[in-house]
Structure 1
Amino acid sequence: VESGLLPGVLMDNAGQKFICKNLTLRVDNNQTPFTSQCRPGEVLKIPINHGQGRYYADDETLKRLVDNDQIVFRYCDAEGNTPETANPNGSLDHIAGVANQAKNVMGMMPHPERCADPLWPEVDGQTIFNSLIQSSLTPS
């Protein structure tokens, strides 16, 4: 977002605290190169590790993100619901990841690279990397 490739800004976490823990994300858009191997509504367990991860955008930008299906991930509970208790940093509308309008650039605060090695107990990050691999092998 800071580079201008994606809409919105990242702010200090609500409560001004650094957060490092595993949590769950819901796939809201699986029509991107990053989520093509995910099911709509699928819940992934992905760690976060940040002090400035609260996503914010003005009302007009949020409407555009929703209308253009640019919200890729939302913080959620294990069932895919979005109660406030599932929003670790106070992100607007539980947003954990957004894409640009072309859906070829995505930014997210959770760290899928920290749960992609088959030797680790959590491997949901593999789904995101497998999506990228599959998308790169598929002709446009």
Structure 2
Amino acid sequence: MTEPQALIAYALLVLLTIVWQATGALGQFGITYLMSARDEGRVATGVSGRVERAMGNSITAMVLFAPAVLLIVALDASTPASRLAAIAFLIARIVYLPAYAFGIKGLRSLAWTVGFVATVSLYLVAL
């Protein structure tokens, strides 16, 4: 798997997370609230709330991961280490989502750390 392929796969995971979050919100708040202006703020709870927070974290991770991959491509700096880092990031984020959603704290933190370190590694390769 190349770095851009990992980025595409991660983008699909983020899209899936958005669908999961929206489905949970629909079940918790109902269609009437979701179609309203939402002036009355509501906070999702349980799995739905954790998926919402995981979605926000996933978007933040994308903001950091995507430029690193694009730099690797633009600089033609792909190496076995950068491909490994991109794959490690993707696997970590795949693990992170259900770990967060279902409240598996230690695994969630480990997955987040692996993904973060993998992202930093991509920037170091791009140097």
Instruction: Compute the TM-score of the two structures, normalised by the length of structure 2.
Output: 0.28
Structure with the largest fraction of helix: 2
Which structure has the greater CA radius of gyration? 2
TM-score by length of 1: 0.26
Q: Which has the higher strand share?
A: 1
